[in-house]
Structure 1
Amino acid sequence: MGIELSMMWAIIIIFGVMMYVVMDGFDLGIGILFPFGRSQSERDVMMNSVAPVWDGNETWLVLGGAGLLAAFPLAYSVVLSALYLPIIFMLFGLILRGVAFEFRFKAIHHQHWWDLSFIVGSLVATFFQGVVLGAFIDGLPVVNRAYAGGAFDWLAPFPLFCGLGLVVAYSLLGCTWLIMKTDGPLQQRMHDLAMPLVLALLVVTGVVSLWTPLSHADIARRWFSLPNLFWFLPVPLLVLVCTFALLRAVKRNAHYAPFLYTLALIFLGYSGLGISLWPHIIPPGISIWDAAAPPQSQGFALVGALLIVPFILMYTAWSYYVFRGKVRPGEGYH
């Protein structure tokens, strides 16, 4: 029973983190792209395209963190002990961005300062999310069920490169979201920007895909051993197909296809990460079953999760449905 509960909780947490990456990714990307808004009106449109939904997107981050604490307390304690500094920096960025969202429309004489806060908060939050991911892939040393590394072990080339890579990925998400939600000169500028961002993401993905197996022998064995190779091989092939389709969609000035193909690329990258690390919740040696809470605790918390997740999905879907369509100057959040 404990094994099944651990699997269910792993699926819930994986799903929650994936939803956060997709949904908060594009509004963080809009913050990174904010300097490309050439006027106050264009920047208003950029912010209004996500203003009705941005704070709800972060519900999934709370779900992932709370689920980790409830179902896998060992993983929660180790991850926070190892990565508390980049996590604090990430939260600082999210707070700065959230304050900028609320204050920017109310500021009259100092709106440029809140524009800068929105840009800096988005960049900081995105970069340190990537750093956390890279440090997690690098592995966290655990001795006697406690983190055995240093406070600055995350300050290494691979995690820092992953931080830059996530900035590129979120920028492309934000760019294609704006292609879908805007029109006129702003949309055309995003079309022009999408092509170099796609190529940059392809380069970043290639570098990470080479760096990871070269630096981690256990991941290399997992990738290139049978039958795992048959599970992993479709991922790079589908990445190339989606990239080609995305470039074609951008070239023909499509409105919705670029965002959908970008979502597919993000999902493929996430699935490749899952294949590389499964079933380790603390790489390189702690599995989800090693880190699991007692079955009674997992079962009790699971009842609440299974009740609340459908409601989150319903109100999220409804909010996106209500605020569907293009955002134009003079319309939106004030």
Structure 2
Amino acid sequence: MDVTVVWAAIIALGLFMYVVLDGFDLGIGIVFPFFPDERERDLMMNTVAPVWDGNETWLVLGGAGLFAVFPIVYSTVLSALYLPLVFMLACLIFRGVSFEIRAKAKRTRHLWDLAFIGGSTGAAFFQGIALGAFLQGIPVADGSFAGDAFGWLTPFSLLTGLGLVATYALLGCCWLVAKTEGDLQRRLHRIVWPLTLVLLGFIALVSLWTPLQDPLIATRWFDSGLLHRLLPVPFLVAGCAFVMHRAVRGRHHITPFVAAIGLVLLGYAGLLFSLWPYAIPSSMTVWEAAAPRSSQVFTLIGAAVILPVILGYTMLGYWVFRGKVRHGDTHYH
């Protein structure tokens, strides 16, 4: 068994779970400005009140796994993306504080609304910035970061930043469709399809730009036989978009969220196929960046215990708080 590949799969799973789970609750903050009514905002926040902090566990899992198994990647990526990651954490702090204080505030509630909106949008944007900078490649010399402090700030990273904001907005909107009812749900349905079109536009732009800005990815797509394996992806994306359109027209409750997850999964899979087997694009493979096998096996034993626990309490939390959220549901606070 190739332990390095197993660990790469665990970290990839953790990041995907984070994007989906924390993505939709960040997305609620992004769509907040479209719903100025205080009672509706209370209801929207109550849909994620029991689970939002648990969703961030997956980010911790991914970061801890990276530190333990791919320490060179951890140190290099943090050095290269120090500023956007610090900005992201600052936004997450503002968002978390606003989540707790807003419910108790009276005169300053509008300020905490702004903190919730800005923190959610900023966190999504800087995560996308970090993704774009990572895809562009990080210069490495002698196992250390060899670039400059603002190498992450490029037109491509700005595009991916905005694209992730659109992704989270769609996930959040579809989650709210599943958890609400009545007039609020009808108005949410109206913005799901426009957000889907925006996301499809970003998917197309990133898909075209990625091989153009990285010759190694272009070679992998067009010269290594990978292209015929990726050909079904655009048709699957179109299929998810069709399902989303039908679900919106039919006023379905759960289907839009499932279709949105499908779009995210396809985009994520495309990125993984494009990057594999590099841990740092164009610089270092997963095997070159990995810790000694004995360290990987030791930490894998811990992951084998922790991962089922995280999956179990995540599933339990969503099961316990399943169903619609209504005004006056105090068990959601």
Deviations 1:157-194 (A, max 9, x none): 00011000000010000011011000111111110111
Aligned match for 1:93, one of 91, 94, 117: 91
Cα distance in 1 for residues equivalent to 2:292 and 2:125? 35
> For 1:196-235, what aligned pairs fall within 5 Å after superposition?
196-235=194-233
- After alignment, is 207-216 or 120-129 more displaced? 207-216
Letter of the 1:88 partner, please give it.
V
Alignment correspondent of 2:328: 330
Q: How does 1:154-303 map to 2 (within 5 A)?
A: 154-303=152-301
Shift of 1:213: 1.1
Matched, 1:133 2:107: no
Match for 2:99: what amino acid?
Answer: F
Secondary structure of residue in 2 paired with 1:112? helix
**Runs of 5+ consecutive residues of structure 1 not aligned to the other structure:** none
The number of aligned residues is 332
| Amino acid of the structure 2 residue aligned with 1:278 | W
1:31 paired to 2:64: no
Cα distance in 1 for residues equivalent to 2:47 and 2:312: 20
1:146 to 134, 144, 162: 144
Deviation at 1:244, TM superposition (A): 1.3
CA distance in 2, matches of 1:272, 1:210: 12
Distance 1:220 1:232 in 2: 13
| Whole-Å separation in 2 of the counterparts to 1:200 and 1:76 | 32
Is 1:317 matched with 2:304? no
Tell me, in whole angstroms, the C-alpha distance in 1 between the residues paired with 2:229 and 2:323.
38
- Give TM-score scaled by structure 1 length: 0.98
How much has 1:252 moved relative to structure 2?
A: 1.4
SS across alignment from 1:281: strand
Counterpart of 1:321, as a letter, is W
CA distance in 2, matches of 1:74, 1:142: 10
Q: Which residue of 1 aligns with 2:118?
A: 120
CA distance in 1, matches of 2:79, 2:214: 22
Q: CA RMSD for the aligned pairs?
A: 1.0
Q: Any runs of at least 4 consecutive aligned residues in structure 1 with deviations exceeding 4 A, and if so which?
A: none
How many Å separate the matches in 2 of 1:123 and 1:216? 28
Report sequence identity in percent: 58
Q: Which amino acid aligns with 1:10?
A: A
What do the CA deviations read for 1:257-306 (whole angstroms, capped 9, x no partner)?
00000000000000000000001010112000000001111111111111
CA distance in 2 between partners of 1:325 and 1:245 (Å): 22
Cα offset for 1:38? 3.0
How much has 1:226 moved relative to structure 2? 4.5
Structure-1 separation of matches of 2:141 and 2:224: 31
The equivalent residue for 2:68 is: 70
Gaps of 5+ in 2: none
Partner-residue secondary structure (3-state), 2:291: coil
Deviation at 1:36, TM superposition (A): 1.8
Partner of 1:33, secondary structure, is helix
Aligned equivalents of 2:216, 2:250: Cα separation in 1: 43
